[in-house]
A = this chain, B = another copy of it.
Amino acid sequence: MYQFQCDYAEGAHPLILRKLEETNFQQTAGYGNDIYCERAREKIRKLCGNEHADVHFLVGGTQTNFTVISGVLRPHQGVVAASTGHINIHETGAVEATGHKVLTIPSENGKITAEQVRACYEAHWSDEAHEHIVQPGMVYISHPTENGTLYSKKELEELKKTCTGLGLPLFLDGARMGYGLMSEASTLTLADIAELTDVFYIGGTKVGALFGEAVIITNPSLGKDFRYLMKQRGGMLAKGRLLGIQFDVLFENELYFDIAKHADDLAMRLKNAFIKKGYRLRYDSYTNQQFPILPNKHIEKLRGNYSFEFWEAVGDTHSAVRFCTSWATGEDAVNALIQDIEAL
């Protein structure tokens, strides 16, 4: 049984484990004030083309999302997000637990547009009773989205321009950042993303690390006292160096990018196998998540050898499912799966 269920089924890239071992008995300061965090910060700033960016390391995605969002908003403000956004759906109301509403914009493929953001903003301010309504206070997007889709550079430029014009900080959830950057369909670099957002994060958990998300704050007005917020929300790891070491390794010699490309390549091979077989796709993804629509009986058959996620029913006879590859996915497993797809 091989898992294509998610992109966090294995441990970490071996180079990370090796480095953890090499440094294990070094004594360092806690809470991110160590040399490894500092090195990782430097590398990330360089990749982002922004020497002044604030870089912080947190443990997980949900934690990062609610820490950033609750740090930006005032009590009466909400965060604008796609209805499909992770914060709206899959974080057990973590954002609401910090006191803020998620203001949803309908989305078919996980993305939202600059026009939708503007419309949402204007609907608020044109309402005479706007003081009775949650005020849009920032915008949250995912890249890649939860549906594997990508913003183009042009789309992100428009979003950023609109957000800036409206005074709404733009926050990008990059839990699967690597798979976005290395996609054959990508038109964005890390430096682009750093320039076109106010704060974002680079996911480690799903791209080679044991755990960890690197938050980059490029809008200085949002960085004030961020370490207090991290501590209060449980996101400041005592042995912070564990995060520094992991990101230091990931951004040494392009490791992060290479392993992400590996996953994307395998995912595209899967995608082509599904298409070749005549299956439709629920979303047109060029990243490590693929969403074919299969006959239910074929799903049953594949479940004999592979685990993957049920996504949603499509009529009575078909369902969309999700296959994930990751930095750790083996070529052999993908080859075998493709053979089994062809044989369906």
Interface, chain A (partner B; CB < 8 A) = 2-3, 5-6, 8-12, 14, 17, 20-21, 23-31, 59-63, 66-67, 70-71, 74-76, 78, 89-94, 96-102, 129, 131-135, 205-206, 210-211, 225, 227-229, 231-239, 242, 328
Q: Is the CB of B94 within 8 A of A97?
A: no
Shortest distance in angstroms between A84's beta carbon and chain B's nearest beta carbon? 13
Q: How far is the CA of A182 from the CA of B300 in the complex (A)?
A: 53
Shortest distance in angstroms between A64's beta carbon and chain B's nearest beta carbon? 8
Q: Is the CB of A28 within 8 A of B12?
A: no
Give the residues in chain B near A205, CB-CB below 8 Å.
238-239
> Copies of this chain, how many?
4
> Which of B66, B75, B93, B234 is close to A134, meaning CB atoms less than 8 Å apart?
B93
> Which of B94, B101, B206, B225 is close to A93, meaning CB atoms less than 8 Å apart?
B101
Shortest distance in angstroms between A262's beta carbon and chain B's nearest beta carbon? 14
In order of increasing CB-CB distance, the 8 nearest A-B pairs are: A63-B234, A76-B228, A11-B24, A92-B232, A93-B134, A9-B27, A93-B101, A96-B101
Q: How far is the CA of A91 from the CA of B91 in the complex (A)?
A: 23
Q: How far is the CA of A17 from the CA of B239 in the complex (A)?
A: 15
Q: Is the CB of A25 within 8 A of B6?
A: no
Give the residues in chain B near A131, CB-CB below 8 Å.
31, 92, 225, 227-228, 231, 236
Known contacts A10-B24, A11-B242; 5 additional CB pairs below 8 A are A3-B27, A8-B238, A20-B20, A62-B232, A94-B234
Q: How far is the CA of A27 from the CA of B227 in the complex (A)?
A: 34
Give the residues in chain B near A89, CB-CB below 8 Å.
133
Q: Is the CB of B21 within 8 A of A9?
A: no
Q: Is the CB of B14 within 8 A of A24?
A: yes
Shortest distance in angstroms between A208's beta carbon and chain B's nearest beta carbon? 12
Q: Is the CB of A228 within 8 A of B92?
A: yes
Pairs A–B under 8 Å by Cβ, sample size 14: A10-B25, A12-B24, A59-B234, A62-B234, A66-B234, A75-B98, A90-B132, A92-B135, A96-B96, A96-B100, A101-B102, A131-B228, A205-B239, A234-B235
Give the residues in chain B near A8, CB-CB below 8 Å.
30, 238-239
> Which of B11, B26, B94, B235 is close to A23, meaning CB atoms less than 8 Å apart?
B11
Give the residues in chain B near A63, CB-CB below 8 Å.
234
Give the residues in chain B near A206, CB-CB below 8 Å.
238
